[in-house]
Structure 1
Amino acid sequence: MTTAGEPAPVDDGRDPDGRGGLRAALSGLTTRGRSFLAAGVAAAVCAYALGQSDLLRVGLLLAVLPLVCVAVLYRTRYRVAGSRRLSPSRVPTGEESRVHLRMDNVSRLPTGLLMLQDRVPYVLGPRPRFVLDRVEAGGQREVSYRVRSDLRGRYPLGPLQLRLTDPFGMCELTRSFSAYDTLTVIPQVEPLPAVRLAGEASGYGDGRNRSLALAGEDDVIPRGYRHGDDLRRVHWRSTARYGELMVRREEQPQRARCTVLLDTRRAAYQGAGPDSAFEWAVSGTASALVHMLERGFSVRLLTDTGNSVPGEGAGGFAGATQETADSAGLMMDTLAVVGHSDEAGLSRSYDMLRGGNEGLLVAFFGDLDEEQAGVAARMRQRGGAAVAFVLDRATWVRGQGSADAGQPDGRVPAQVPVEITARAEDRVRPLREAGWTVVTVPPGAALADLWRLAERQRAGSGASPSGGAGGTTGGWS
């Protein structure tokens, strides 16, 4: 059973000598079959004790019928193949994916009644069961069901089980396919506005922290021809002037870089579930990564453990290319399974960033104590822009109830300010002093609104709910 739809023959589960399969067939007797067998044995014993030959014949009939059904079902030579297709195989939390099952009868005989069952983790919903009537020789049947999950993760689907039964319901045998598929539930990605943060470039061009791309525009200064140069780049005016072949130089344009840091420390968050602070941080990280890739940045994902995405290059994944969707998929797969770490601090991520030229830095922090706030403050590179979204643990615990009661989707109304504790502001002060743009995230906040707030703070026109300019960020306007 494969996602590609190739047929996989069902496993009959028999031993080479047939004994194990026969024992399995006998164990497949239903309650009805066991009752008939027990009644037949009891009638035969009574007939022998009472000398009643007619009762003995009835007892033999009752005992032999389920055994005959077992033998016939065991000797059934159905050749059935199955396949599974997920549409889509990568789905955001809270959204549905449809699973298509296809059964092919590859034998020359029609099948009897087939009961189909697929193994599904409980978080995806109830286990689907289907009853397939007679499938003609060479025929096929297709069924489908839907799955959804509010929790991120990678969930195995399968193996598919096929249950065979006789017409009298005396015996049921289960055959299993060997293959299974995986459904990846990724974080929700929120579309972000195309704002401009100070120190950031809009893909190609005007940022200060950049890495080299591969192609470029022509420089006005030519150079001498080298073996292997494209003749289409010959600069004829300079060739005539210098008396030798001259070609136009290739200037390598620069691509803006962005590093997105996710704080996964267990001690930095409190609570669990889809509405927890940690899930908001993961969803925010996913939204920022996709947004930056779409704008042409070379994007890098980093966690507090110092780990990044498997297969990621030294400069991160490049955006605005044909591989943008694949790059985003790899990052989403990583975020789908990311969990809490047991790290005590942010020192490992600081070591990964120290001494580098990472361009724009976007960080999603949990609760910061005084020591970790100092470490985070030193992450900002000189001359680079850094934006921090801080989820204070105490704020989320106190404000969760009001956030849930705000709107049907759980978001806090824009006009309702959320109280930010003095402790939270004291913790983020070292980041502000180091040049970070700090946005404290209230429960249920919309990242798009906070993204605009970060831009206004960088531009010096942002205002806090209390009326201060560029100060505490307990809400947004």
Structure 2
Amino acid sequence: MSDGGSEGAPERDGLRAALAGLTTRGRSFLAAGVAAAVCSYLLGQADLLRVGLLLAALPLVCVLVLHRTRYRVAGSRTLAPARVPAATEARVRLRMENVSRLPTGVLMLQDRVPYVLGPRPRFVLDRVEAGGRREVSYRVRSDLRGRYPLGPLQLRLSDPFGMCELTRSFSASDTLTVVPRVEPLPAVRQVGEAAGYGDGRQHSPALAGEDDVIPRGYRHGDDLRRVHWRSTARYGELMVRREEQPQKARCTVLLDTREDAHPGSGPDSAFEWAVAGAASTAVHLLERGFSVRLLTDTGSSVPGPDGAGSFGGGTGSADAAGLLLDTLAVVERSEEPGLSAAYDVLRGGNEGLLIAFFGDLDEEQAVVAGRMRQRSGAAVAFVLDGDAWTRGPGGIRFSDGQVPVAERLQLLRKAGWTALPVMPGDSLPALWRAAAERTGAPETVAGGRS
């Protein structure tokens, strides 16, 4: 008895769901049938009772037939591509396959998408033969970066008279990642990038003096001019000086995410410009062979694939860039009061090249930012003027003609930064070239282009 009851409960629940799926037409027919039956009783008209029963029976029969319908269909979704820059379209392909031996009726296919990606797509599929398949597609687009779930896919079943509709969902879903837009930067050498062999790389010398030699054992084919005779006499075998070992140039991209430092919101806000600037800079440096670390004002570093806290360039730069862009796709504003946490991370060692994207800086935070320069080989700062971004291009300026960011830039420059203001409408490639010109560094050729 208990087993029968447990099996009957889902059946009753499914029937209730089917009754709840009555459309406006189905409810109207049911109400008209009940009204006709009541009127036939009051007026004593038997023919009216027959009409009422027919009107009421039709939607109920449709509910029962639709509830008993068992379609065996398989659905899949394909994103092309699964990672897109902001304001770029992605195509979503839906595939339905009838795996049963019976044809289906008319199916309404609907995919659940967030409102920011556009309207919810709906497709009507005609009768699908046994073993047949149908493919449809739609496009999604978002001006805001982030990760957006797609699905689950839903099938809406309807009877031929339109009396009842049932919705059945698949369980699988996918995620569309909208990353910041990456602008190609000009191939100019910023201050701190080493010239010569291995463009953009540093070299550790084989020796700094006779007492600092770290020799190794002689190998067949080594040049005898590299034999270190003092070590040979000490160890009793031929020892040679080590060759210069190239080291991968390092860079830290600092992104200021403080909420108070970036007024405004939306895809054209100062914060979104800073995020896109950090993404463009990091990808550019990865392509040039740098080992890049992304750091925020909270002091958190983005770990690389090796878990070492940096994304290595070279042959895996494309994968590293993808991981970094995925991280920047979901970065949000922080409630951090200042830049002290980031400074504590930077002062732990020499960070090589430092590229920073700052929001509004008060005097105290400008001093903290100035100290960061002491632990880096070179530093370039892009400082966004919050007042200009809030008022927009051509907005009101202070009466003395000075923008609020001017004195902060002066403090950074005195500390050794190459600091540039960022106004609404400014282009990062132009600012990147201007930063190189301020340092007096020559233009170089990278990847066959100047």
Quote the offset at 1:442 in angstroms: 1.5
CA contact (8 A) 1:211 1:315 kept: no
Find the counterpart in structure 2 of residue 449 from structure 1: 430
Task: Give the equivalent residue in structure 2 for 1:437.
Answer: 418
CA contact (8 A) 1:187 1:332 kept: yes
| Partner residue in 1 for 2:314 | 320
Whole-Å Cα distance in 1 between the matches of residues 383 and 271 of structure 2?
A: 11
* Secondary structure, aligned partner of 2:249: strand
Quote the residue 1:427 is aligned against: 408
Query: How far has the Cα of 1:236 moved from its partner?
Result: 8.0
1:51 deviation in Å? 2.8
1:146 aligns with 2:144: no
Cα–Cα, structure 1 residues 343 and 210, in superposed 2: closer, same or farther, change >3 Å?
Answer: farther
Amino acid aligned to 1:366? G
Structure 1 position 303 matched with structure 2 position 289: no
Question: What SS does structure 2 have at the residue aligned with 1:144?
Answer: strand
Note the C-alpha offset of 1:27: 0.5
- The sequence identity of aligned pairs, in percent, is 74
- Maintained 8 Å contact 2:189/2:441: no
Note if contact 2:385-2:404 (Cα within 8 Å) is conserved in structure 1.
Answer: no
- Using the alignment, how far apart are the partners of 1:80 and 1:326 within structure 2? 36
CA–CA separation in structure 2 for the residues paired with 1:203 and 1:65 = 85
Q: 1:78-227 residue pairs with structure 2 within 5 A?
A: 78-201=71-194, 205=198, 223-224=216-217
Equivalent residue in structure 2 for 1:42, among 28, 35, 45: 35
Residue of structure 2 in register with 1:17 after alignment: 10
Contact preservation (8 Å) 2:203, 2:244? no
| 379-388 vs 266-275, greater mean Cα deviation | 379-388
- Please name the residue that 1:235 is paired with: 221
Residues 374-430 of structure 1: per-residue CA shift (max 9 Å, x gap): 000000135611000000112323443579xxxxxxxxxxxxxxx972532211222
> Does the CA-based 8 Å contact 1:309-1:330 persist in structure 2?
no
Read off the aligned partner of 1:109 and give its amino acid letter.
Answer: L
SS in 2 for 1:400: coil
Measure how far apart 1:251 and its partner are. Answer: 5.6
Greater CA drift, 200-209 or 446-455: 200-209
Residue type at the aligned position of 1:141: R
Shift of 1:370: 0.4
1:249 Cα deviation (Å)? 6.2
Q: Give me the whole-angstrom Cα distance separating, in 2, the residues matched to 1:160 and 1:61.
A: 36
Count of residues in Structure 1 that have an aligned counterpart in Structure 2: 416
Whether the 8 Å CA contact 2:387–2:404 is kept in 1: the answer is no
Q: Secondary structure at the match of 1:381?
A: helix
Q: Is the contact made by 1:203 and 1:296 (CA closer than 8 Å) also made in structure 2?
A: no
- Is the Cα–Cα contact under 8 Å of residues 208 and 359 in structure 1 kept in the other structure? no
Higher deviation after alignment, 265-274 or 196-205: 196-205
Once residues 421 and 48 of structure 2 are traced to their aligned partners in structure 1, the CA distance between those partners, rounded to angstroms, is 85
TM-score (ref. length: structure 2): 0.85
Shift of 1:156: 1.0
Amino acid at match of 1:317: F
* TM-score between the two structures when normalised by the length of structure 1: 0.81
Quickly say closer, same or farther: Cα 1:420–1:428, change in 2 above 3 A: farther
3-state DSSP class of the match of 1:378? helix
- Cα RMSD after superposing both structures: 2.9
Task: Report the AA paired with residue 451 of structure 1.
Answer: W
* C-alpha deviation, 1:79, in angstroms: 0.7
CA-to-aligned-CA distance 1:219-269 (integer Å, 9 cap, x gap): xx98448xxxxxxx743887xx99999999676421100100000111111
**Separation in 1 of the partners of 2:287 and 2:192?**
18
Equivalent position of 2:447 in the other structure: none
Is the contact made by 1:204 and 1:256 (CA closer than 8 Å) also made in structure 2?
Answer: no
Q: CA deviation at 1:330?
A: 1.2
Change (3 A) 1:97 1:376: same
Match of 1:400 in 2: 393
Flag the 1:395–1:38 CA change in 2: closer, same or farther, 3 A. Answer: closer
Counterpart position of 2:46: 53
Alignment CA distance shift 1:284-1:72 (3 Å):
same
Q: Tell me: CA distance 1:394–1:259, structure 2 relative to 1, closer, same or farther (3 Å).
A: same
User: Counterparts of 2:127 and 2:340 in 1: how far apart (Å)?
Assistant: 64
